[in-house]
Structure 1
Amino acid sequence: MRAAGIDPYPVRFDRSTTIGGLREKFPDLEAGTETDEVVRVAGRLLLLRRQGKLTFATMRDGSGAVQLFVSEAEIGIDGHNDFDALDLGDWVGVEGVVMTTRKGELSVKVRSFQLLAKALRPLPDKWHGLSDVDTRFRQRYVDLIVNEEARRVFAIRFKVMAAIREYLGSLGFIEVETPVLHDQAGGAAARPFLTHHNALDMDLVLRIALELHLKRLIVAGFDKVYEMGRVFRNEGLSTRHNPEFTMLELYEAFVDYGEMMTLTEELVAHCVMVALGTTQVIHDGETLELAPPWRRVTLRDAIIEHAGVDVHPSMPVEEVRVLCDKFEVPYEKSWGSGKLMLEIYEKTTEHKLVGPVFVLDYPREVSPLARVHRDDSTLTERFEAIIGGRELANAFSELNDPVDQRERFEAQAQLQADGDAEAHGVDEDYLRAIEYGLPPTGGLGIGIDRLVMLIAGVASIREVILFP
């Protein structure tokens, strides 16, 4: 091509509109119409159908697709032959008039064209795409070219993230950025990734949660803050877990977990409406209505309802172990009644909760950053939002008593010393921060990937992460 004087990778092409803009301007053009509108559009060739002196092609850009109508009578024999020599996957810019075919297909009648980028690799077959799932994820750039379903899923993801920012902004929340590298892990029970800062000769970890720095900002006087960011947990892979994933965490001063429930159900319903135009989603073939209000039930009552036993953190640990044995729930000798209660719930009850439902009041033993329940000192003011039998969100009335917080950190540090890889030590700087005074605060965390999975109706988290 270069020997023939053709630059296969020119510098630029000036478009007059996108393909989406073209379709918006001519939504109902009558069949067999040729307008006087001259446009310049560009995109990738996805279909070429040659019929003698006519060629029909499909071009797609980031906003949509349109048919190209290429006639030898319009661009000449040489021009038509050059167009027919193009390959699927080539990027092309065209100039022509807007028209519709006799069948009513919106088209651009090409007067001239320019190759913008030559594709050196052939695209996968249109009908089969990339058949190997791992190849789809490793070569997402190809998957998105040929897979309409993948493009649908990520269009939903982009809408959901924009909707979250728009909604929280309307409530006065400010978006912030906090460090990814921490000197110690905190904010969740998870195993961190380790790294090393060469210049400082310091071991660091990638963050496993956003929580503790955001609450430092509440201490600093920012009443409503949130962050949507990547977190990293050095754990197993599954359809619900990826080592690198996106979390939304938000914190609001002067409220408790009651307001966080209201915010959660309203935010999720807003995202579904923006993405789908309805507040209903399909999960495992069943229609779920996500419009508020959602059901509220305590963890204790949920276990009674679905497992038929009454369990509480105040029970002697031997009695709760008997229940664990009954339900074949494995446990460690170091676990107290609160931890055993949660294990029974997760084995017998959680997967049965179709929801949407808020499960409230988790044991203090398993909630080191949540405030003690105002009516029961063995519980905390914590809830999880469950939809389709799985956790979507986790929220607290935040623990703001520095003395209580130190005791819980020290208990976690003892678990770490005993070999618990998901427990963490005492974060002295965070304790220092809340010793300056953390006002009553409500906090919420939502897994963005799981939210998109729910709305898009896909079963694997890798389907909603661009490059898993």
Structure 2
Amino acid sequence: MNPPQISSQNEPWDQNLDPTLIQNKKEKLLKIKSLQINPFPAKDSILQKRVSTLQIKEQFKTIEKEESEENVHLCGRMIRRRDMGKASFAHIQDFYGQLQIYVRQDLVGEPEYEMFSKNFDLGDILSVEGKMFRTKTGELSLKTKKIVLLAKSLRPLPEKWHGLKNIELCYRYRELDLISNPESRTLFEMRAKIIQSLRSLLYKEGYLEVETPMIQALAGGAVARPFETFHHALNQKFYLRIAPELYLKRCLVGGFEKVFELGRVFRNEGIDTLHNPEFTILEAYEAYGNMESMMELTQRLIVETAKNVSSPNLNLLKTPFESYTLGELFQKHVGSEEAIWVKEQNWKKFSEKYSNEFKEIEDYKIFDRLFSEKIAPHLVNPTFVTEFPADFSPLAKCVEGSTQLADRFELYIQGEELANAYSELNDPMEQKLRIEKYRELKLSQNKTKKENSAQTDEGVVLDTSFIESLEIGMPPAGGLGIGVDRLVMFLTGQNSIRNVLLFPTLKS
């Protein structure tokens, strides 16, 4: 599916509405104030006693047409109303759903009813009190005896029956999307439960949650172009982190044995259905672990979380997950295991043996294109891909007995990468050499792109503080990174990262 087209104009969603609608609302606000009524009160007695629509429906699900004995206190947004002279029906919406209220002049009083009928609008946030009953049609309703305005809405809501359906407006005005579309509220509630599940499972596994710097003097731990900022008091350039990895490993050096961090990272790169400049990542590190222990942990986290949130894709998570080496996949889908060993300058020559699709692609991009176009689409079921070239994995140990294969995996589901893990390299001398070698590789790519190296030196830095930390001694360890937003996409059945971010990055 193609990504939704996002315009560059940050225009109000209601720009085409009659401006008198907003003016009328503002005039009603002034009228309310002129009567010495606060349209935004700080306190109301009902607030302390309020219950949700969910609680009300559960408590009074068996009530017949007679009124309940006890009063009910409800707060929420008025989203529908129907006036009938001296009585009105309206619907109040809170986070859990909607409930019909019945407002009658002789029950609330003539001044209060006049205020409600003439000066309260759809979108206003109200506090209501009364007793429950069922209408002749059987709808559970609240017979209102007291009604208080808690917040006056000065802009009209989206069309009340069909909600906000324009995908761009949903992204730009998520608050309106949440008001209008119950499925959006459900989605973000599920996202919160997924994150809660990941944390709870790691706590049960004995992991300690830690917090590492988001503003860093060096942007290391991944390969990405960072966002730059400047600290005026220190007169120093800093970067928003692209990964928490190096600091988490320093925690292992300090004696923690199981640590994780779940938070935002920032990468100054493109935007598409899988990428947003700021996104949520889970990284976990286990002293005395390795790639295999991380593989087991990854499977447990994903499967148990899918169960905990009743994911619609739970049936796709057949265990144990499949596992193939990168060489096996190239042999099967490209035609040669030799592909993973071809030197960068010979990629084009190699690829021409199998396809003419890559004639116009720079050499260094062909490996990624071969994998993403020839292999990844076949990785529909959860699949661990192992044994990447060590040159591609400067922070990973090599497979025992090899100097060319990294003890690393990437997890793919439905053709997309969700997780990455490896046996962490803890030899400080080898680590320094591997980072320097990888840095040279990236610099050669920069020259190929004929761009300024300051712009393209994407996070390949030699952090001497990290090397010095390794020199103190870090135990053998396994490390794991999970793209939380992509995991949420999979578990909720969404096809764009924008759908699972409350406020995705958009061009203004």
When the two structures are superposed, what TM-score results if normalisation uses the length of structure 1?
A: 0.91
Measured in 1, the distance between the counterparts of 2:60 and 2:199 equals 31
Paired letter, 2:209: E
Aligned to 1:222: 256
**Count of matched residue positions in the alignment of Structure 1 and Structure 2:** 457
| Greater percentage in strand | 1
Measured in 2, the distance between the counterparts of 1:16 and 1:317 equals 68
Aligned to 2:107: 74
Measured in 2, the distance between the counterparts of 1:427 and 1:22 equals 55
User: Deviations 1:398-435 (Å, cap 9, x if unpaired)?
Assistant: 11111111011112332454434325121100101111
Paired letter, 2:221: G
Q: 1:352-431 counterparts in 2 under 5 A?
A: 352-415=378-441, 417-418=443-444, 419=446, 420-431=456-467
Conserved? CA contact 2:66–2:133, under 8 Å: yes
Greater displacement, 412-421 / 215-224? 412-421
Aligned to 1:298: 325
2:298 is aligned with 1:264: yes
Kindly state the Cα deviation for residue 318 of structure 1 after the two structures are TM-superposed.
Answer: 7.2
Greater displacement, 295-304 / 207-216? 295-304
Kindly state the Cα deviation for residue 32 of structure 1 after the two structures are TM-superposed.
Answer: 2.2
Measured in 2, the distance between the counterparts of 1:378 and 1:463 equals 40
Greater displacement, 257-266 / 98-107? 98-107
Aligned to 1:284: none
Q: Structure 1 193/264 Cα, relative in aligned 2: closer, same or farther at 3 Å?
A: same
User: Deviations 1:28-85 (Å, cap 9, x if unpaired)?
Assistant: 3244242112122211111112234432211122333222122334224443332223
Kindly state the Cα deviation for residue 10 of structure 1 after the two structures are TM-superposed.
Answer: 0.7
Paired letter, 2:320: P
Aligned to 1:250: 284
Paired letter, 2:461: G
User: Deviations 1:117-164 (Å, cap 9, x if unpaired)?
Assistant: 111111111234345433322222222111223212111111111111
Measured in 1, the distance between the counterparts of 2:256 and 2:183 equals 41
Instruction: Pick from 181, 184, 199 the counterpart of residue 233 of structure 2.
Output: 199
3-state secondary structure, aligned to 2:48: coil
3-state secondary structure, aligned to 2:70: strand
Kindly state the Cα deviation for residue 240 of structure 1 after the two structures are TM-superposed.
Answer: 0.8
2:40 is aligned with 1:9: yes
Aligned to 2:451: none
Kindly state the Cα deviation for residue 215 of structure 1 after the two structures are TM-superposed.
Answer: 0.9
Aligned to 2:195: 161
3-state secondary structure, aligned to 2:78: strand
Measured in 2, the distance between the counterparts of 1:256 and 1:27 equals 55
3-state secondary structure, aligned to 1:35: coil
Greater displacement, 127-136 / 397-406? 127-136
Measured in 1, the distance between the counterparts of 2:369 and 2:430 equals 24
Q: Structure 1 25/129 Cα, relative in aligned 2: closer, same or farther at 3 Å?
A: closer
Q: Structure 1 105/235 Cα, relative in aligned 2: closer, same or farther at 3 Å?
A: same
Q: Report the identity percentage.
A: 40
Kindly state the Cα deviation for residue 183 of structure 1 after the two structures are TM-superposed.
Answer: 1.0
3-state secondary structure, aligned to 2:133: strand
3-state secondary structure, aligned to 2:69: strand
Residue segments in structure 1 that go unaligned for 5+ positions in a row: 282-286
Instruction: Pick from 281, 286, 289 the counterpart of residue 316 of structure 2.
Output: 289
Instruction: Pick from 260, 267, 277 the counterpart of residue 233 of structure 1.
Output: 267
Kindly state the Cα deviation for residue 379 of structure 1 after the two structures are TM-superposed.
Answer: 0.9
Conserved? CA contact 2:418–2:483, under 8 Å: yes
Aligned to 1:50: 83
3-state secondary structure, aligned to 1:349: helix
Aligned to 1:26: 59
Conserved? CA contact 1:232–1:243, under 8 Å: yes
Greater displacement, 52-61 / 405-414? 52-61
Kindly state the Cα deviation for residue 456 of structure 1 after the two structures are TM-superposed.
Answer: 1.6
Residue segments in structure 2 that go unaligned for 5+ positions in a row: 1-31, 447-455
Measured in 2, the distance between the counterparts of 1:69 and 1:5 equals 26
Conserved? CA contact 2:391–2:438, under 8 Å: no
Q: 1:439-458 counterparts in 2 under 5 A?
A: 439-458=475-494
Kindly state the Cα deviation for residue 291 of structure 1 after the two structures are TM-superposed.
Answer: 4.6
Instruction: Pick from 196, 199, 218 the counterpart of residue 184 of structure 1.
Output: 218
Measured in 2, the distance between the counterparts of 1:29 and 1:376 equals 70
3-state secondary structure, aligned to 1:395: strand
Kindly state the Cα deviation for residue 25 of structure 1 after the two structures are TM-superposed.
Answer: 4.2
Conserved? CA contact 2:280–2:485, under 8 Å: yes
Paired letter, 2:186: R
Aligned to 2:29: none
Measured in 2, the distance between the counterparts of 1:112 and 1:166 equals 43
User: Deviations 1:284-335 (Å, cap 9, x if unpaired)?
Assistant: xxx85215321111111122222232225445667754332333346656x5
Conserved? CA contact 2:69–2:131, under 8 Å: yes
| Greater percentage in helix | 2
3-state secondary structure, aligned to 2:279: strand
Kindly state the Cα deviation for residue 340 of structure 1 after the two structures are TM-superposed.
Answer: 6.0
